[in-house]
Every structure is written in structure tokens, then in C-alpha cells.
Amino acid sequence: MIINGVQIDETFAEAFNMRGTRVIITAQNLKWAYHAANAMTGFATSVIGCGVEAGIEREMTEDETPDGRPGVSILMFAMGSKVLMQQLETRMGQCILTCPTAAAFSGIDSDEKINLGKNLRFFGDGYQTSKLISAKRYWRVPVMDGEFLCEETTGMVRAIGGGNFLILATSQPAALAAAEAAITAMKKIPNVIMPFPGGVVRSGSKVGSKYKTMFASTNDAFCPTLKGATNTELSPEIESVMEIVIDGIGFDDIAESMRVGIQAICDLGESSGVKRISAGNYGGKLGPHHFKLHEIMSGHKL
């Protein structure tokens, strides 16, 4: 498959099951909502070392938020419910409770509930108060700038992590420019995040290593400096590879984000320096969700 001069490999991105939640962070203005959200989603790029993968999904207007203030929605994903619950409570306490004017609310409905402010209320040292509104409980915790308002729980749902595609280009600037174009398009799709810095990862990994203490190591087949030293997947003109990883609430959400991202790159044309789009997989052994590039880009039923 070739789109506007860019080759789309006949391969698939392999993704795995995760647990996810959404939290709505509001504040006096977007500046402070972003301060809180950026802190909460910091050091959350990969479950390999961070526990959770998290990111800002989108901005929210005053008409969309529970308290009528500007805000942002955050998505968080983990490999299991226990880890997600622990990471959510820790990050809430360290990053949202501490942030001037910030408040936090549930952003997703589910039969499964996890703590949002249920335990944070104890910071109030007995001075905290609660309010039940439309069967939802909120906590008001006295703090030095006034009050910290937080919903008691949020929903937890089954989700998918590890959707991805690889950008193969003739130079590092070309690969990065294409990745930036893809991220700009992908950010318009709801229910997904791209958790790595700026949405892009350069250190794509493979399962296993020659070192016993490492369970993941550099994806040598796609490293341009190792063309003569490994079983490379790169042709001579490829000098840089960038990866975009996607976590999402559902399969269709991730597939659509991949489609618009790849299309944005193809729209740049072959003259941009991008030669191929590929994907990372482990022969179907890592996860049950397979995002086939040709099907995604041809519009066939997934």
C-alpha cells in the first residue's frame, strides 16, 4: 500500500488490555488547570517504569465542567486495577490537592468505582464536610487558599494500551516533523492519549535483552546506526525512526487515532522525507488487540 508516495507496511500494531479512568481537573483558569494536570500526568509515559501511562486528553469549557470553571480531562491507564487505584490516589494527593484553586471530578461512568477524594478528605483533619448531589458525593477539604473540592469516586473501565505506528524517514528532522503533524491531528480524537513526551518516543523497545536484569531493550532492528550489526528492518536511506504510542478507552478510538495520524503524515508526501510507516509487534504474543495498518488505512472493517 502506498499513499501519496509513502509506503504503508503490511503489518499490525500489537496492543494489550489495561484498566483506565478519566478525571476532570478544573481551576480558576486554564493556566492553573494545566499546572495541576501537567503535574499529575508527569512521569507517566510507560508502565515499564512508571506504573501508569497518563496524559491530557483535551481542554474543557465552563459549559462542560461540573463546577462551571475551565478545565482539562486526564486519562490514566495501568496494567491492573490495584496499580491504577494506588497511582490515582497518590497523584491526586501530591498534584491536585496541592495546586492552588484546583478541583477534581469523575470523568467517566462505570459500575466499577475507584477512590478519587474518598481518602484525601482525611487531610482535612476532621474539618472536612461532604455533600450528596444527584447521588454523587463530594468532599470539601479546608486548605489555606480556601477549599479543595473533590468528587468521592470516579469510574474505572477496561481499556487498551500499546497501539502504535513507526515513522521511517531519511533524517531525524524529517521524522520528527512528521510525528508532530501526526500528533496535532491525533489530539482531536477523543478517548485517547499519546503518553510519551510530546506524544513521540524515540526509544522503541523489544521484549527481552542480553542482560538478565532487563526485560525490555532497544529495538535494534529499527535503529539506523545498527544496520550493519543486526538483522535490520531498515533500507539504506532510512536514517531516523520515531514511534507514536496510543492508549485508549476502546479499539475503535485507537484505530481512528492511528488513521488520522498516519494520514496526516501521508499528506506531507514523499518529499517530506518519510518513506515508510510500519508498526511494532511481537508476532501476536504480547497482546490480543491487533491494529492492522492496511485495514485501518483502507477503511475495511476492523
Q: Which three cell numbers stand for residue 276?
A: 515508510
Same-domain check for residues 194 and 228: yes
Same-domain check for residues 133 and 163: no
Q: What is the pLDDT of residue 302?
A: 45
Q: What is the pLDDT of residue 300?
A: 56
Q: What is the per-residue pLDDT across 22-76, written as a single tens digit (0 to 9) for each?
A: 999 999 999 999 999 999 999 999 998 899 999 999 999 999 999 999 999 999 9
Q: Which amino acid is at 4?
A: N
Same-domain check for residues 97 and 181: no
Same-domain check for residues 7 and 83: no
Same-domain check for residues 35 and 163: no
End residue of a domain, out of 139, 157, 175: 157
Same-domain check for residues 141 and 200: no
End residue of a domain, out of 129, 157, 185: 157
Q: What is the pLDDT of residue 224?
A: 95
> Helix, strand, or coil here: 42?
coil
The domain that holds 24 is classified in CATH as: 3.30.70.520
Residues in the chain where the model's pLDDT stays below 50? 301-302
Same-domain check for residues 131 and 175: no
CB 202: neighbour CB atoms within 10 A? 14
What is the C-alpha separation between 230 and 28, in angstroms, rounded?
54
Residue ranges making up the domain that contains 257: 2-14+159-298
What is the C-alpha separation between 287 and 103, in angstroms, rounded?
36
Same-domain check for residues 193 and 286: yes
Same-domain check for residues 143 and 24: yes
Same-domain check for residues 8 and 27: no
Q: Which three cell numbers stand for residue 5?
A: 508516495
Q: What is the pLDDT of residue 284?
A: 74
Instruction: Name the strand (E) or helix (H) holding 289.
Output: strand 289-292
Same-domain check for residues 53 and 144: yes
Which residues neighbour 117 within 8 Å (Cβ) at sequence distance 6 or greater? 92, 104, 138, 139, 141, 150, 151, 152
Q: How many domains does the chain have?
A: 2
Same-domain check for residues 278 and 177: yes
End residue of a domain, out of 142, 157, 172: 157
Q: What is the pLDDT of residue 77?
A: 98
